[in-house]
Structures are given as C-alpha cells and as structure tokens.
Amino acid sequence: MMIKIADDVYFVGAMHWDRRLFDELIPLPEGTSYNSYLIRGKEKIALIDTVDPSKEEELIENIEKLGVEKIDYVISNHAEQDHSGALSRIIESYPMARIVTNEKCKQFLMDLLLIDEEKFITVNDGDELKLGGKTLKFIVAPWVHWPETMLTYLKEDGILFSCDLFGSHTATSDIFSTENVYNSAKRYYAEIMMPFRSKIKQHIEKIENLEIKMIAPSHGPIYKNPEFILNAYRDWISDNVKNEVVIAYVSMHGSVEKMVKYLIEVLIEKGINVKPFNLTVSDIGELAMALVDSATFVLATPTVLSGIHPLAFYALYLANALRPKTKFVSIIGSYGWGSRIVEQAKEMLTAMKAEVIEPVMVKGQAKDDDYTAIKKLAEKIADRHKEIGILTL
C-alpha cells in the first residue's frame, strides 16, 4: 500500500490483515499495520522506520512505486522488529543509506540485527536533520515502551511520527479512517503503554509545544485531527477513574460463579458499573482495556493445589504488571480444605498501588453468612467510590 499523506510524504508500510498474535502474547482481533513513511526533500530522501520482516518485500515494492532511486536516511524511532525488521533489507537495496537514531537505539540495532556501527548517524534530543524544504526534528522519548524510543516531527508539515505512541493494532484499507479507532487505540494503550503512564505524561507535556497538524503513528490509522487521540490519552493517563468494578473470574464447579453473580447484582443495585470477565473465554486484551480506568479490580478464583487457579494467576500477574491506576482491589475465592489464595494474591500485587479491601473466602458453596460477607464487600466498594467522589447516589 502506497498512499500520499502530505506533499512529498508517503505511507509506504504494510497491512497485516490476518496476524492474530503479537509477541506470541497480545491478541490482535483486527490484525495490525506496520506504518513506514517516506519523505522526499529537495535534496535528501528519508524513510521513517521500516516494517515487520514478513512484509519487507512489500515495503521495497512501495518505495519502488514512487520511483525513488536512493534513500539517504532511515530514521529508526524504535528497535523492535515490527519497526526495524526490514532495516537490513533496506540497507542492502540502498547501500548509501545511513540509519539515523539515538545512541541507545543504535546499540540495540547493533545487538539485535548485527548492523555495523559505520552505518549509523546518532542524534540527540532536539537535533534536526534537513532534507531540503523538509526538516526533521528528533524527540527522544524513552519508554514508549522500550528505553530507546524516539518520535520524529516534520516541522514544515506539522506531522508527528509518533512511533508506538498513539498507535493501534488495526489493519485498515483507509489509513485516515479514525471512525472506529477509539477502542483499538485504548486497547493498544492498555497493553503497551499503561505500565509507563508517568513517562507518557511527560512526553505528552513535551509535545504540547509543537504545532501538530497530523499524527502518524507506527500502527493503525493516521490522525488528521490530533486532538482526538491527544484528548483520549490525556484522559487515560490522568489520575481519574470511573465508577466501575472489573471482575476477573474462573469457576471450576460453580461456587465462585454464584458468588460473582451475587457480587455483580449488589454492585449494580448500588449504582456501580461492572465489567465481568470469565477468564476461560475472555480476550486478555479486553481485560487490560477495562483496567485502564476502572476504580476497582476483583479477582475471583477457586483453589487449585492450595493456590490461585492458573487462569486467574495469569490475569492477576498481567493486571499487576500493567500497573493500572486502579484504586481498590479485592479477592473472592472458594476452597475445599485449605487455601493460600489471599496470601498468594497479596504477594503478587507488588506494582498495583491499590488499597486491598478485605477478601471473602468461602468453604465449598456460599452460605447465608458468605452472601452477607459478599454484600459487605460490595458496600465497602461503594463507600470507597463515594469517598473519592465517583459514586454520588
């Protein structure tokens, strides 16, 4: 796919319509795209990032369609292979090209792709590169979501090539269609950016000074209305949470499910929104997305070999690693003869800075006293939501 996005600026990347997993971990229900961009200055030609290795021939074909005989610079905003995977192929086809990146990214590319140091030009934050009527300014932005990440701003056109920041895993035939992008961008933020929320905040503050007319990320649609995605990010990275409880649950023989159903019922009665995820059938990306701005997270699990059910263990591990801004967390569980669920869960919650509301553990099926305890848990959650001003009933 080769598309003009501004005068002498082209999308030359590739759609990966049927990719369903990223890093063998992240579900891709809408596929993804690898957005490489070519900028033709009066004197020099620059390519911004490349594509995943599986699409390198498509990148070469797209560049050839433009009748480009040389590439002077390949700007490497990020060393991960969905951006850099075709770098070696580009250098082979365009041997005069030099890779322009920051020192840290250079080191990564030398280690990951075994590229010679002489192929690189290193830049620092704020440096500019003139192509002739087109000027690239480099903004070093670590932890978007690796330590070497960088953004590139095309001054004359006001285009921010934002690397993974503001991206979405979406394959699309209309690179400018942002009609349905909110959820996929939120999912992407949840899976990739959320652990680095404070860094993302700093980067967004830094780019507020730029006159941005278009945001061209490395995945998914290009934003002709940058405020749309900037406002979404401002909301996600803020400390604001919603009057919502995310419940991730597994039930082996039905007792946990009954407890979860009752908890849902009471929470709804109290005016709290609920997002339950049966972990045996849930897309883990949906769970991550729900954790972006929910006030409370509840894990519900039976006891397996004295501990948390493996599916619930995985969900809790991910929830903790993603470091959502969740304010409150609790656990409900069942056991037959003994359980270390609560201790295990508390030990795992090292990064999620949430207050633990007293868990409810039940022997076998829940009885009247247990339902009363679950009701009390719902009441405590409602009280906390009131205290922070998100529940006003």
CB of 76 to ligand FEO, least distance (A): 12
Instruction: Give yes or no for a contact between 131 and 137, defined as CB atoms under 8 angstroms apart.
Output: no
One-letter identity of residue 41: G
Place of tokens 């063998």: 24
Q: Torsion-angle region of residue 349: left (phi > 0), alpha (psi -120 to 50) or beta?
A: beta
Binding mask 2-21 for ligand FEO (x = CB under 6 A): --------------------
Q: Is 218 in the site for ligand FEO (CB under 6 A)?
A: yes
**Residue (106 or 145) nearer to ligand FEO, CB:** 145
**Binder among 82, 148, 257, 370 for ligand FEO (CB under 6 A):** 82
CB of 169 to ligand FEO, least distance (A): 9
What the block records as the tokens of 325 is: 């801004």
The 10 Å CB-count burial string (b at 16+, else e) for 323-353 is bbbbbbbbbbbbbeeebebbebbeebbeebe
Instruction: Give yes or no for a contact between 217 and 165, defined as CB atoms under 8 angstroms apart.
Output: yes
**Binder among 134, 186, 219, 327 for ligand FEO (CB under 6 A):** 219
| Helices (H), ranges, 114-251 | 181-188, 197-207, 226-237
**Residue (68 or 113) nearer to ligand FEO, CB:** 113
**Binder among 56, 58, 157, 164 for ligand FEO (CB under 6 A):** 164
CB of 85 to ligand FEO, least distance (A): 10
CB of 163 to ligand FEO, least distance (A): 7
DSSP string, 6-51: ETTEEE--EEETT--EETTTEE-TT-EEE--EEEE-SS-EEEE---
Rounded Cα distance, 304 and 189, in Å: 33
**Binder among 56, 80, 293, 370 for ligand FEO (CB under 6 A):** 80
Q: Is 148 in the site for ligand FEO (CB under 6 A)?
A: no
Q: Please identify, among the stretches 80-88, 101-109, 175-183, 284-292, the one whose residues bind ligand FEO according to the rule CB under 6 A.
A: 80-88
**Residue (22 or 73) nearer to ligand FEO, CB:** 22
One-letter identity of residue 131: L
Residue 25 burial (CB count, 10 A): 10
Binding mask 312-341 for ligand FEO (x = CB under 6 A): ------------------------------
Q: Which residues bind ligand FEO (CB under 6 A)?
A: 78, 80, 82-83, 145, 164, 218-219
